[in-house]
Structure 1
Amino acid sequence: MGEYEPKIEVHFPYTVTAAKGSTIRMECFALGNPVPTISWRKVNGPTPSKGRLRKSQAVLEIPNVQLEDAGTYECKAENSRGRNVFRGQLQVYTYPHWVDRLNDTQLDSGDQLRWECKATGKPRPTYHWLKNGVSFLQESRIEMVNGVLMIHSVNQSD
């Protein structure tokens, strides 16, 4: 067939999404003659030192992914006839984690209830308020803004 430059035939998706603490594998396989060598790098920062190369460097495996591992990764296939490059993004998310939790509360009829929940996570968590497993009905005396629930003038039904 003669010599020809590398052509990346199989590559990881343009966007790889992973949960913090998981293991990810990004593949980059190229054809070429002579057989191309594959190299990896993180474009904007150091490639994680815990990263391991598998299958003749065609797979970059990163165990225990952390937020700082997120970024653009590049695989490069090279031989004496040329090179080919593929880039994709690694996005790392974290599950919501409670920072502030609710406490049981007893109030007199007519008092105001103010409960606030706070959670961290990536992407930023959104909040949904439920009463006995059912979404609150919007009323003039009930306000729900992000992690804050306010009930003006509580009554027995609350």
Structure 2
Amino acid sequence: MNAFLRIHCQAYGNPRPRVAWSRDGYDVSRDPRFSVYPNGTLIIQRTLEQDMGSYLCMANNGVSNPTQRIVMLQLRESLWASIEQVEERKREGETLYLTCSGFGYPTPSITWEKNGLPLTSDQRIKIQGGSLRVINLALGDTGTYTCIVMNDEEKVEDTVSIQVTPFDLLPSTCVDSASKVKCSLIVAARLCGHTRYSRPCCESCQREKTRIMQRSSPILG
């Protein structure tokens, strides 16, 4: 969490009472992250999840009976969601990789939507938390992809628009600028969905996409 937290416990009396803070019977000031000031304020540096719970504030001036109050500490950290930057224009047959980071407390869940409808894993779509992969892209995969980060208290999201263009719009001058060995490795590692790798191995990647599309096309008998 790493947050700075201040809890104040005001006590009055004559003589002026001394304020002490404890948790589960132990003086919290023994922890270097905890500091108790003369005015009764408890400061917690770099709050952690295990700091949640009940704290006892006790005021005692040595004359009157000690007075005490119990304070319940619950921690919360605002959520945020962010989809890593990606090439938003794809061609049929390519693979789409999206990665979403979501943080906050209580720990959130991450789900995906396309055009406002939930996405689930199937033969072409693979979802693992913040990772989304769509293989053998079709024109129907064009749309707005939304990463939803949510817990019981909050919901945030980030979106990216993906456009899938027809396969036959590939440039006619599509040749490999990298070595055959390198392009073979890129194809074998299924990296043609990344522009960084497909550009220097355009011809090899195009040939692989054609093979995939032909293999996935229905055969009429």
Residues 154 and 125 of structure 1, relative CA distance in 2, 3 Å threshold = same
Give the partner amino acid of 2:43. E
Is 2:100 the counterpart of 1:123? no
Do the aligned residues in 1 keep the contact of 2:20 with 2:36 (CA within 8 Å)? no
Is 2:46 the counterpart of 1:64? yes
Give the partner amino acid of 1:42. R
CA RMSD, Structure 1 to Structure 2 (Å): 4.0
Instruction: Pick one of 6, 9, 13 that aligns with 1:28.
Output: 9
Do the aligned residues in 1 keep the contact of 2:91 with 2:137 (CA within 8 Å)? no
Post-superposition shift, 1:38?
0.8
Residues 53 and 46 of structure 1, relative CA distance in 2, 3 Å threshold = closer
Post-superposition shift, 1:94?
5.2
Do the aligned residues in 1 keep the contact of 2:22 with 2:57 (CA within 8 Å)? yes
Give me the TM-score of the superposition, normalised by structure 1: 0.56
Superposed, which structure 2 residues align to 1:30-109 within 5 Å? 30-43=11-24, 47=28, 48-54=31-37, 56-79=38-61, 80-93=63-76, 108=93
Partner of 2:204: none
Give me the TM-score of the superposition, normalised by structure 2: 0.42
Greater strand proportion = 1
Give the partner amino acid of 1:143. T
Greater helix proportion = 2
Q: Which 5+ residue runs of structure 1 have no aligned equivalent? A: 1-19
Q: Which 5+ residue runs of structure 2 have no aligned equivalent? A: 122-126, 142-221
Paired with 1:83 and 1:45, the residues of 2 have a C-alpha distance of 17
Post-superposition shift, 1:50?
1.9
Give the partner amino acid of 1:32. G
Residues 106 and 153 of structure 1, relative CA distance in 2, 3 Å threshold = closer
Report the identity percentage.
23
